[in-house]
Every structure is written in C-alpha cells, then in structure tokens.
Amino acid sequence: MPQTVFGFFYDGFYDQQNFISISGVYPSLSFLPFTMNNVAVLDCCNSLIFCRCLGADGYCYVICNPATQKFKKLPPRIHSVGETRLRFDPIASSYFHVLEYMEENGQYVGADIYSSKTAAWIFKESKWVKNAQLTFSKIGTMFLNGCLHYIGFYNGYHLILAVDMEGKTWRKFPN
C-alpha cells in the first residue's frame, strides 16, 4: 500500500519547484512516461501537478496525480507562448483548468484555456484594461471564489486583476 504524501510545493530560485514533506514521504513522478530530467513541475493545485515534459515529439503539458499515478497529456495549445496556471477545486467540480496567457507587443491580449470537461483549448480575449501589466509570480496569484487573481500594474498604480476559469468574467479592482 503506497504511503500518503503530505507537504507543499513552493517556488525556489529561477522558478524551480521544491517540495517540503510533512509526512517524510516525497511525491514520485516516475510513473510518467518521460525521463525525469525532462519533467519540469510548473504548478500544483489540490493534489494535481502540472508539468511540462519533453518527449520524442517535443514539449507537452501533463497533469498528474501522484497519489493515483494517473496522468493526462494535454493536446497542443492554440498559441504556444505565455505564463500558465493550473486550477482545480475538487469541492466545486471534478474538472480542472489550465490558463495560458497570450502576450502581443508587451500587452496581455487574452488566454488560451484548457478545460478537462471539454478536453479542448479555447481562446478568450482579455477584458482587462489596455496596457495592464501582470505580475506573474505564484506569490502574486491567488485562486479564490472560482477566479484566478493577479497583482497588476497600470498607469503607475497597483490593482488586482481576476479571471474565472472559463474566461467569461474579467474583473479589475479597484474599478
């Protein structure tokens, strides 16, 4: 019977993911069909781990659950650029979402959003203010009430930018 893993992933230098174990057991991703040197942990959320993996056919995104040793290789993205975030709220839904922001000429113009419910990527145009800059640090992001919140910067002022997991609601605080 596998041992239960309890702990936390955190960002180290150069966005390297580290893990602190509470139970003395560390997660293993050796069940993935990739060489471990070619697996980079990008994010984690409520037991799911989001990885970028290099295989014979190039890079791909993989979502996995070390406890069940199940994984899903995501289909190719619409626009293969940008910062990505995984969000999974098992209390609200059994589906997960991946958001990858698209940048053009230094502005965030929208996001490619993958839903495990539809098993497809869609593109949603940003409804945030023009020329808003995001702080893409996991320290500067929070998942709350079904929305991903970011610290933003616009015209010399800080603001909070939020988007829901389907790309339908784009909010900014203060308004």
Domain boundary (73, 107, 135) is at: 73
- Of the ranges 70-74, 130-134, 157-161, 171-175, which is most confident? 70-74
6 and 82 housed in the same domain: no
Domain boundary (45, 73, 101) is at: 73
For the beta carbon of residue 60, count every other beta carbon within 10 angstroms: 16
32 and 109 housed in the same domain: no
Provide the β-strand partners of residue 110.
102, 125
List the one residue out of 57, 48, 110, 86 whose CA is nearest residue 165. Answer: 86
Instruction: Give the percent of the chain with pLDDT over 90.
Output: 17
d(CA 146, CA 149): 10
- 150 pLDDT higher than 90: no
How would residue 130 be classed by pLDDT, with cut points 50, 70 and 90? Answer: low
State which residues form the domain around 55: 1-73
At which residue do the structure tokens 């991903």 appear? 148
